[in-house]
Amino acid sequence: NIHEITHLTQVKGTQDYGGYGYNFVQSLSAAQNLNHADTYALYANAIYAGC
């Protein structure tokens, strides 16, 4: 899935920061979100859903 793929250093090399989901992502700073695997997964899901 996208979350796991973004962990690959060849893609982005993201981190997890100890949490998942929309509410957790909102609690992160902008800098953390740019390096958080679930942020990318949530973004891709929103695009797929037409948001």
- Residues noted as catalytic: 4
- Which residues, at least 6 apart from 26, have a Cβ–Cβ distance to it below 8 Å? none
Report the percent of the chain where pLDDT is more than 70.
100
Radius of gyration of the chain (CA): 10
Residue 15 and residue 39 in contact, taking contact as beta carbons nearer than 8 Å: no
- pTM (global) more than 0.85: yes
Alpha-carbon gap, residue 5 to 41, rounded angstroms: 9
> Per-residue pLDDT tens for 32-51?
999 999 999 999 999 999 99
Q: Give residue 26's pLDDT.
A: 97
What DSSP letter does each residue of the chain carry, written as one string? -HHHHTTSTTTT--B-TT--SHHHHHHS-HHHHTTBHHHHHHHHHHHHHT-
